[in-house]
């Protein structure tokens, strides 16, 4: 019954804002065409606002779950036209707080003790209220000031209900809309479902905060509040209370004497440090979640809160993304096209020349402007929109990255309009790539992978032998089999040579490290002469085998 009422409510809002005008009648089957022509929404006048604002107002009226969905859609320029995406960026959670007594009851049920025992003070009036949780100020028995984040009562039921209705609408779009198969609305709703359910687990958010705090321990860039794990459960999070100036309050920052250029550039550095150094980034960096510690105005520090959404990048994605960006700086569009194909972001059958030409068409007009006038975030969005024409698969990790970059760049330009994000990013990326492919990066890779290689190496000959037997005993596509076996033999010989060279490189680097030790001479003298002869003979055999 509740679901039916909710469905009628959605239908009413759909009519009120004439969202039917977004749908082309020509794409609908005949029965739905008749329904759309005779539907009651024609009795409603068309609102005198843009289509993007109509969609934004409709989502705000439908409530917090739809608002959060709209906020995520605003980052998906591959799904929405630019004007609609821009309207959705201004979506705001307008959620009234739930009673303080209810919050107390949730805290007591989660922590198994009365609030009066847990805290010396617990303020019933919330500091802030959002779609999933609200925050109360409190004081621990040891005198520490904290904030208590409490999940809304019955929010899981509301989410389940609204997500099921979104899925029903998404399936209709995917079935009847010509763009449905390409844009995959059902998959978009499923991704949103995962995101919002993750936000319901306060222990997950606390773990994210702890990881970010560890990554930026003693950093002059950003401060992450500490989590009190003794008071944190699935529905309750207790975190250090921090004081700062809201980052969107530019007049207050200027009044405090904050160096706005330094502050803006630090925001960019934080983003690239999280993405490329840590591969773990705060993916909800909108102004409401960021404050500024202006204690030292010439060297201000950011303060972050709300860690429900974080993103990660695999090492391969990190490398491809960095190389893509550096290729853009050099305007090497062919390498950009090749990297997209090598990474698997676009299909292997994509014609490089056509893709390169499409990228050049997008990028050249942008690069004709001064770098400080170029939006890095918008540039990436245009690139991914172009790649979608070549069947680029949606990359969830890149979607979060786009969203975060747009927030960071928008915030930086708000603080310091002349921010040149490109000149800040290029040296960082070049330095990161040098470290990754230089001697330090090679040594780190060997330290990480060498134990696994050594452990797996005894099994490799048997696995290779089994693969050859399987090919030999398979049905007679004999010519193909012989070619495949020849390729495997050549690959095995190449792998053997590379393996021996890796061992040699490891020995040489270990030797270089060894000679820097103060006690190197004592260690050399401690090894008997036959031992050195044996090591020399083994090294000679490895070298001969690697040639």
Residue pair 260/247 in contact (Cβ under 8 Å)? The answer is no
- Of 208, 216, 197, the C-alpha closest to 237 is 208
Distance CA 64, CA 163 (A): 12
Calculate the alpha carbon distances from 332 to 323, 337, 348, 434, 450 in Å. Answer: 11, 9, 20, 19, 35
Bridge partner residues of 128 (DSSP):
135
Residue pair 103/136 in contact (Cβ under 8 Å)? The answer is yes
Backbone angles phi, psi at 281, to 5 degrees: -130, 145
Query: How crowded is residue 161: how many other Cβ atoms within 10 Å of its Cβ?
Result: 15
For residue 487 the two structure tokens come to 């390729």
Residue pair 280/324 in contact (Cβ under 8 Å)? The answer is no
Helical residues (DSSP H) of 371-477, grouped into ranges: 376-388, 396-415, 421-437, 439-456, 460-472
Residue pair 70/88 in contact (Cβ under 8 Å)? The answer is yes
Strands 280-282 and 301-304: unpaired
Distance CA 422, CA 523 (A): 50
- Of 7, 13, 97, 12, the C-alpha closest to 57 is 13
426 Cβ contact list (under 8 Å, min separation 6): 326, 329
Q: How many residues does the chain have?
A: 547
Residues with catalytic roles: 284
- Of 206, 207, 174, the C-alpha closest to 190 is 174
Distance CA 316, CA 517 (A): 35
Bridge partner residues of 137 (DSSP):
147
- Of 397, 349, 383, 356, the C-alpha closest to 78 is 383
Phi-psi region of 184 (alpha: psi -120 to 50; beta: other; left: phi over 0): left
**DSSP 8-state secondary structure symbol assigned to residue 227:** B
Using a 10 angstrom Cβ sphere, with 0-12 exposed, 13-18 middle and 19 or more buried, the burial of residue 440 is exposed
Q: How far apart are the first and last CA of the chain?
A: 77
């Amino acid at each position: 019954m509740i679901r039916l009422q909710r469905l009628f409510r959605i239908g009413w809002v759909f009519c009120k804002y004439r969202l039917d005008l977004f749908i082309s009648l020509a794409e609908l089957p005949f029965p739905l065409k008749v329904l759309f022509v005779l539907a009651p929404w024609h009795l409603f006048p068309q609102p005198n606002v843009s289509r993007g604002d109509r969609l934004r107002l409709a989502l705000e009226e439908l409530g917090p779950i739809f608002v959060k969905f709209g906020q995520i859609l605003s980052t998906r320029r591959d799904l929405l036209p630019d004007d609609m995406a821009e309207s959705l960026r201004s979506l705001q959670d307008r959620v009234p707080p739930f009673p303080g007594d209810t919050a107390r009851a949730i805290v007591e049920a989660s922590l198994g003790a009365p609030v009066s025992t847990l805290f010396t003070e617990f303020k019933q009036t919330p500091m802030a209220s959002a779609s999933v949780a609200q925050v109360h100020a409190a004081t621990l028995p040891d005198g520490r000031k904290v904030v208590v984040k409490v999940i809304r009562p019955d929010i899981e039921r509301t989410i389940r209900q609204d997500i099921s209705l979104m899925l029903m609408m998404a399936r209709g779009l995917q079935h009847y809309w010509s763009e449905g198969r390409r844009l995959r609305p059902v998959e978009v709703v499923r991704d949103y479902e995962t995101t919002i359910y993750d936000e319901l687990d306060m222990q997950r958010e606390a773990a994210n905060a702890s990881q970010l705090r560890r990554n930026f321990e003693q950093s002059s860039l950003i401060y992450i509040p500490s989590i009190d794990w003794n008071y944190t459960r699935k529905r309750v999070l207790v975190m250090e209370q921090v004081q700062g100036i809201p980052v969107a309050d530019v007049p207050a920052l200027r009044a405090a004497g904050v160096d706005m250029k330094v502050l803006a550039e630090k925001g960019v550095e934080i983003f690239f440090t999280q993405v490329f150094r840590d591969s773990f980034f705060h993916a909800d960096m909108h102004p409401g979640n960021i404050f500024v510690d202006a204690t030292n105005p010439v060297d201000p520090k950011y303060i972050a809160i709300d860690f429900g959404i974080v993103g990660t990048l695999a090492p391969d994605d990190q490398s491809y993304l960095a190389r893509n960006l550096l290729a853009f700086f050099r305007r090497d569009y062919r390498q950009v096209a090749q990297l997209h194909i090598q990474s698997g972001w676009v299909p292997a059958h994509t014609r490089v020349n056509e893709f390169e030409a499409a990228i050049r068409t997008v990028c050249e007009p942008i690069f004709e402007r001064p770098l400080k006038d170029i939006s890095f975030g918008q540039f990436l969005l245009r690139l991914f929109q172009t790649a979608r024409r070549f069947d680029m698969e949606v990359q969830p990790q890149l979607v979060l990255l786009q969203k975060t970059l747009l927030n960071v760049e928008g915030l930086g330009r708000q603080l310091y309009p002349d921010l040149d994000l490109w000149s800040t990013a290029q040296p960082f990326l070049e330095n990161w790539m040098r470290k990754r492919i230089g001697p330090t990066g090679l040594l780190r890779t060997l330290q990480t992978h060498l134990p696994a290689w050594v452990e797996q190496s005894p099994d490799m000959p048997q696995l290779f032998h089994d693969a050859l037997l399987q090919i030999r005993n398979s049905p007679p596509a004999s010519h193909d089999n012989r070619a495949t076996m020849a390729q495997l033999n050549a690959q095995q010989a190449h792998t053997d040579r590379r393996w021996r060279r890796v061992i040699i490189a490891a020995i040489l680097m270990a030797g270089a490290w060894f000679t820097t030790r103060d006690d190197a001479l004592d260690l050399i003298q401690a090894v008997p002469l036959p031992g050195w002869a044996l090591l020399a003979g083994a090294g000679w055999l490895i070298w001969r085998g690697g040639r």
